[in-house]
Structure 1
């Protein structure tokens, strides 16, 4: 679907909730699309077809976090917070007050609080390889040898996951705890966004997202990574399972870029660079040149 078609769905969701859609603005239009209606202080999330269960779980997770004093984005509280429109699940959320991306220290503190909670019955096990095969299938810009290498890498990491060394007790995890998904309001409240990947799993899965920003890409300094470790109280890079989770995270990032390159030529060079890094063509970590896919 293009932006116009997805916006039509967002407007229909507003109508169902008796919300005027005047001034609707796209925040992000990709596999999941997000719009905001500034005058109504509402954010509309249009998920992929077939994701009804996941969308309902996001709403449930948000309510559960609020009940346990962990700040997260909140549903609008309308009669139409969830709807399926043109086969796509749509959820309505309260717009956050002014905010910025969380710092490493803030993210570490927020994850520490999240990981201390008891596992609720509605969360399912983390799926670290979800949709990776489909992304590789869509990687039409890569050579056949590159695509086959990604399939083989995926298969090897699946085996490794089954043999993951023991670590911290399994807990609720965010699943995608990058700084854009953990923000801090102007009032100083650090808040979780994008609860799509919330699940039960090793807490280390959340910690690796920040660790590789330093160890794999040098996106952050040693001092900033140290602040993250201090706030959380643990350095995941010292754990025996770190390398495996690092490799899975890097593969996920590479497959995302490869899929994007299959439909947009501007991402071809970035996708190829990431594959080359994983294959050892450009030398050891930290790698230079990894850029966000937008």
Structure 2
């Protein structure tokens, strides 16, 4: 296993394959979008991750959808923020794709997570996320949704966005760095793709010099965008509801979730969070 989140990723180096397993076989449109995005990026000459299209895909198996991707072996040196800034700058300069993109809308996924956490709470016993936490997160989504959609509709720099652009979604293959993971690809404000790095500076200890270099290479600083406050709020809600899914299974996730909830309730924008 490489990682588990919205999808589970399993590597088989001998086969030069990564198996990407979606949570449900009801996600066909989303999975087809990921495959279409990968094929389009490769056709544009952009350094994306090719799907293994010699296999018919996606495949439905035991209630889940599986897709097949090229395996990239671990590199001696991880990609950095300079690489991410260059890739995002080039990505945002591409023409519009030849397939339809959904509008950027993180709220249905966040509400699905909250609904599942609420429904499964009694079965999980002491490990369940508390009702007050679920109510606070649901209210926070409600409070920020209209402003977020207004921003998406009015921002002049709207186009193709990766949707989850951070260093964890970069792979180094030889002298090229690849941008991977297309499940959140959408049409939205391009500033959305700069938020993970700004959040790393605000919450996870990324230094001012590193953040400044990222902004200089890309050519913009999302913290100076008029919609930064609402974009950051929605990004942090997404990060917190994602972490919430692991609370019943991980003491570390439970402790970090408690820390994040406390800072969100207090409106503490400077509280240090920890990546898990």
TM-score, length of structure 1 as denominator length:
0.83
Q: Unaligned regions of 5+ residues in structure 1, if any?
A: 1-25
* Superposed counterparts of 1:234-249, under 5 Å: 234-249=220-235
Q: How many residues align?
A: 263
Of the structure 1 ranges 164-173 and 51-60, higher mean CA displacement relative to structure 2 is found in 164-173
Q: Secondary structure of the residue that 2:151 maps to in structure 1?
A: coil
Distance in 2 between residues matched to 1:200 and 1:85, nearest whole Å: 30
User: Does the alignment pair 1:82 with 2:58?
Assistant: yes
Q: Could you tell me whether the CA contact under 8 Å between 1:208 and 1:245 is conserved in 2?
A: yes
Distance in 2 between residues matched to 1:209 and 1:156, nearest whole Å: 22
Which residue does the alignment assign to 2:275?
Answer: 292
Q: CA deviation at 1:30?
A: 4.5
Of the structure 1 ranges 116-125 and 69-78, higher mean CA displacement relative to structure 2 is found in 116-125
Q: Could you tell me whether the CA contact under 8 Å between 1:124 and 1:199 is conserved in 2?
A: yes
Q: Secondary structure of the residue that 1:78 maps to in structure 2?
A: coil
Q: CA deviation at 1:97?
A: 4.3
Of the structure 1 ranges 250-259 and 219-228, higher mean CA displacement relative to structure 2 is found in 250-259
Q: Unaligned regions of 5+ residues in structure 2, if any?
A: 122-127
Q: Could you tell me whether the CA contact under 8 Å between 2:72 and 2:171 is conserved in 1?
A: no
Of the structure 1 ranges 141-150 and 36-45, higher mean CA displacement relative to structure 2 is found in 141-150
RMSD after superposition = 1.9
Question: Could you report, residue by residue, the CA deviation over 1:247-287 in whole angstroms, capped at 9, with x for unpaired residues?
Answer: 1111111112222213444422211111111111xx73321
Aligned equivalent of 1:40, options 15, 39, 49: 15
Distance in 2 between residues matched to 1:66 and 1:34, nearest whole Å: 21
Distance in 1 between residues matched to 2:216 and 2:271, nearest whole Å: 25
Distance in 2 between residues matched to 1:90 and 1:37, nearest whole Å: 14
Distance in 1 between residues matched to 2:72 and 2:195, nearest whole Å: 26
User: Does the alignment pair 1:136 with 2:119?
Assistant: no
User: Does the alignment pair 1:176 with 2:164?
Assistant: yes
* Superposed counterparts of 1:65-214, under 5 Å: 65-99=41-75, 100-120=77-97, 121-137=99-115, 138=117, 140=121, 141-164=128-151, 166-185=154-173, 187-214=174-201
Q: 1:239 to 1:189 in 2, by over 3 A?
A: same
Question: Could you report, residue by residue, the CA deviation over 1:56-78 in whole angstroms, capped at 9, with x for unpaired residues?
Answer: 21111111001111111111131
Q: Secondary structure of the residue that 1:44 maps to in structure 2?
A: strand
Of the structure 1 ranges 163-172 and 129-138, higher mean CA displacement relative to structure 2 is found in 163-172
TM-score, length of structure 2 as denominator length:
0.88
Question: Could you report, residue by residue, the CA deviation over 1:153-210 in whole angstroms, capped at 9, with x for unpaired residues?
Answer: 010110211232844421111111110102333x231211111111111101111111
Distance in 1 between residues matched to 2:224 and 2:200, nearest whole Å: 16
Q: Secondary structure of the residue that 1:219 maps to in structure 2?
A: coil
Question: Could you report, residue by residue, the CA deviation over 1:127-166 in whole angstroms, capped at 9, with x for unpaired residues?
Answer: 2223212322316444333321111101011021123284
Q: 1:247 to 1:163 in 2, by over 3 A?
A: same
User: Does the alignment pair 1:274 with 2:260?
Assistant: yes
Q: Could you tell me whether the CA contact under 8 Å between 1:173 and 1:201 is conserved in 2?
A: yes
Q: Secondary structure of the residue that 1:211 maps to in structure 2?
A: helix
Q: Which of the two has greater helix per residue? A: 2
Q: CA deviation at 1:246?
A: 0.5
User: Does the alignment pair 1:51 with 2:34?
Assistant: no
Q: 1:146 to 1:79 in 2, by over 3 A?
A: closer
